[in-house]
């Protein structure tokens, strides 16, 4: 049986080292917060960019597409590559590309440069998510769902904070003030350098240990079907989330005639609720099983999404919060379920579910932008309200098998 640090990096065997290293998960969650705060700045300043560059909704959707397309293409490839050949300091280098993208976003003078800036920020995401998800699992001490929740909630809080910070920093001071968010990238690079050193020490300590069992618990055909179903569920979730991150501010401005800052606060309500849902989803999945969490989350949100396009301002805020909590609780469960279906391919699975599925959400954002230009933004939310019906696909998932 072949042994070595590369095999240990699969992260399937809890040990004393990982049990004592949960602080690494917290550090990664902080960096996830910084990373997604910076990434959410792009969507948060769409109203400013729309005015400054006279953009159509289609062009707004293409900005989202440019960001998510780079992440979509590269995350699974990076994850698959580093499953076999871990790269020690990939995380701080990836954060450096995000920094370059932000600097360009703050000074871009025309639309093409905005697309390049969005692509660079997406590339930083492509490196960060599969690598940090792998290391979080290594440091989980066997609490895989909890580790995924702690790691992911940093990203959700960051995504929620970006629009709020943009409302009070960028809206009053203009596009050039995006440069201040580069400080977050520098802080992230420092923390991720420390995490990378821990990862190197972990790999050296793991050298010579037996290779974890990577045999499939189900037939190959059933595993492929389950992964397709999980990807479709995440795709469905991300289309709906993309309708919020790209167009929610426009929706509430048009429907209720609120200010840009008030619209950003309402978007913060949704994204903050998603952070809460992410935090509770993993630990609940560890206790009652991830499959049940997926059922309740994806299908259970349907009544609220159907009501949202017709609610008044107060109930829109309430429904927005409920939708965010219920919908977000599924994602940690989906990632853990998929990782346990294919043991030893943590990076690839993380890349697919953080990258490819989010990239498909970006394509959906571009399509929704075109629909909004033709039919209006309210029509987009009426159509998207039916998406959670696809939660019925959960019936095709096999029984859950816990990783050792």
Per DSSP, the three-state class of 212 is coil
pLDDT given at position 96: 94
Sign (positive or negative) of CA dihedral 301, 303, 308, 312:
negative
pLDDT, block means (10 residues), the chain with 404 residues: 40 44 89 88 80 85 82 79 79 93 87 91 88 85 79 80 78 83 93 92 73 66 87 84 85 91 86 84 79 84 94 95 90 81 78 69 79 91 90 82 50
Question: Distance between CA 109 and CA 247 in Å, rounded?
Answer: 23
Give the model's pLDDT for residue 375: 92
End-to-end alpha carbon distance in the chain: 18
Q: Does residue 402 form part of some domain?
A: no
Output phi, psi for 402, to 5 deg: -75, 135
Structural domain includes residue 42: yes
In a domain, 323, yes or no: yes
Rounded Cα gap, residues 132 and 137, in angstroms = 9
Rounded to the nearest 10 degrees, the angle between the axes of helix 182-206 and helix 90-107 is 170
pLDDT score for 30: 94
Any domain includes 279: yes
Evaluate whether residue 403 is within a structural domain: no
Res 43: pLDDT = 75
Cβ count within 10 A of residue 254 = 15
Confirm whether 401 is domain-assigned.
no
Alpha helices in 257-312 (DSSP H): 260-288, 290-300, 302-307
DSSP class of 213: P
Domain assignment of residue 404, yes or no: no
Query: Range of 249's domain?
Result: 5-396
- The total number of structural domains in the chain stands at 1
Largest CA distance in the chain: 66
The tokens for 393 are 């696909």
Taking the C-alpha atoms of residue 318 and residue 304, their distance in angstroms, rounded to an integer, is 10
Cα separation values, 351 from 103, 236, 242, Å: 26, 17, 19
In a domain, 359, yes or no: yes
CATH of the domain at 94: 1.20.1250.20
pTM for the model stands at: 0.69
């Amino acid at each position: 049986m072949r042994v070595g640090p590369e095999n240990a990096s699969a992260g399937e065997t809890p040990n004393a080292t990982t049990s004592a290293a949960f602080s690494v998960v917290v550090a990664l969650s902080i960096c996830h917060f910084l990373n997604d705060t910076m990434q959410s700045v792009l969507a948060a300043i769409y109203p400013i960019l729309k005015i400054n560059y006279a953009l159509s909704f289609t062009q707004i959707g293409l900005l989202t597409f440019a960001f998510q397309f780079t992440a979509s293409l590269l995350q699974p490839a990076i994850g698959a590559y580093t499953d076999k050949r871990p790269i020690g300091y990939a995380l701080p280098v990836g954060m450096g590309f995000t920094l370059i993208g932000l600097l360009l976003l703050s000074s871009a003078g025309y639309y093409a440069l905005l697309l390049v800036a969005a692509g660079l920020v997406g590339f930083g995401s492509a490196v960060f998510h599969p690598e940090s998800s792998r290391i979080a699992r290594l440091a989980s001490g066997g609490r895989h769902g909890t580790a995924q929740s702690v790691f992911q909630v940093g990203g959700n809080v960051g995504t929620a904070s970006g629009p709020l910070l943009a409302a009070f920093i960028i809206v009053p001071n203009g596009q050039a003030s995006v440069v201040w968010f580069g400080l977050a990238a520098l802080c992230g690079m420092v923390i991720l350098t420390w995490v990378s050193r821990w990862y190197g020490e972990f790999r050296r300590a793991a050298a010579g240990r037996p290779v974890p069992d990577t045999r499939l618990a189900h037939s190959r055909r059933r595993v492929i079907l389950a992964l397709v179903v999980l990807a479709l569920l995440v795709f469905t979730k991300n289309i709906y989330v993309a309708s919020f991150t790209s167009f929610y501010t426009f929706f509430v401005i048009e429907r209720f005639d609120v200010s840009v800052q008030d619209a950003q606060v309402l978007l913060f309500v949704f994204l903050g609720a998603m952070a809460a849902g992410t935090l509770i989803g993993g630990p609940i999945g560890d206790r009652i099983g991830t499959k049940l969490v997926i059922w309740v989350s994806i299908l259970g949100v349907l009544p609220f999404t159907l009501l949202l396009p017709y609610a008044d301002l107060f109930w829109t805020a309430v429904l927005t919060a409920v939708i965010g909590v219920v919908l977000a609780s599924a994602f940690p469960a989906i990632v853990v379920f998929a990782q346990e279906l294919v043991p030893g391919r943590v990076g690839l699975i993380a890349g697919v579910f953080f990258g490819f599925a989010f990239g498909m959400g970006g394509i959906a954002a571009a399509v929704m932008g075109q629909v909004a230009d033709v039919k209006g933004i309210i029509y987009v939310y009426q159509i998207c309200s039916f998406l959670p019906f696809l939660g019925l696909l959960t019936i095709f998932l096999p029984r859950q098998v816990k990783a050792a």
